[in-house]
Amino acid sequence: MPDSGATDGRRPSRRAGKRPEPTLLYVIKQVELAIRSRLDEILRPAGISVLQYTALTVLERHPDLSSAQLARISFVTAQSMADVVVALQERGLVERHRDPHDRRRLVLAVTTDGQKLLNRYRSKVAALEEEMVASLSSRQAAQLRRSLVACRAALAEHPPR
């Protein structure tokens, strides 16, 4: 993602050798890349990708989603999520079953083995989050969470075409 430095559509000022601040989009992308790299290290022993782990955590919080719903929540294509789901099914970490409210629909659920994997890595992932916000007060960390949730909701209202 290019860093134009401008956050309001204006060209950044380069007076007196002062460098423009990076855009918020750029900073968020850099944080995401750092998180992904660290999560890759944490999850490597489990043999699963960050996207697979994320899918498991989403299904843990929101059971009985279809693969398409899981893709939308995860901001990935249906095809990408289909590949993730197949890999998780082959490992016995998720299962498909009929939706109890609509028997025509197949939904996903975390298996016992999937739950064990989540439980095994939960503290390591929590430690990474704690490290990320270590320089923030608990109030600042809570505000950051609320702000990022609001940003995500705003973007979810207008998904890419």
Three-state secondary structure of the chain: CCCCCCCCCCCCCCHHHCCCCCCHHHHHHHHHHHHHHHHHHHHHHHCCCHHHHHHHHHHHHCCCECHHHHHHHHCCCHHHHHHHHHHHHHCCCEEEEEECCEEEEEEEEECHHHHHHHHHHHHHHHHHHHHHCCCCCHHHHHHHHHHHHHHHHHHHCCCCC
Domains and CATH numbers, the chain: 21-156 (1.10.10.10)
Q: Which residues are CB-neighbours of 38 under 8 A, at least 6 positions away?
A: 128
- Rounded to the nearest angstrom, the gap between the alpha carbon of residue 21 and the centroid of all alpha carbons in its chain is 26
Average of per-residue pLDDT across 13-27: 82
60-109 pLDDT, tens digit per residue, is: 999 899 999 999 888 899 999 999 999 999 999 999 999 888 888 999 99
CA–CA dist 53, 119 (Å, integer)? 11
| pTM for the full predicted model | 0.80
121-148 pLDDT, tens digit per residue, is: 999 999 999 999 999 999 999 999 999 9
Three-point CA angle 23, 26, 27, nearest 5°? 90
- pLDDT above 70 coverage of the chain, percent: 88
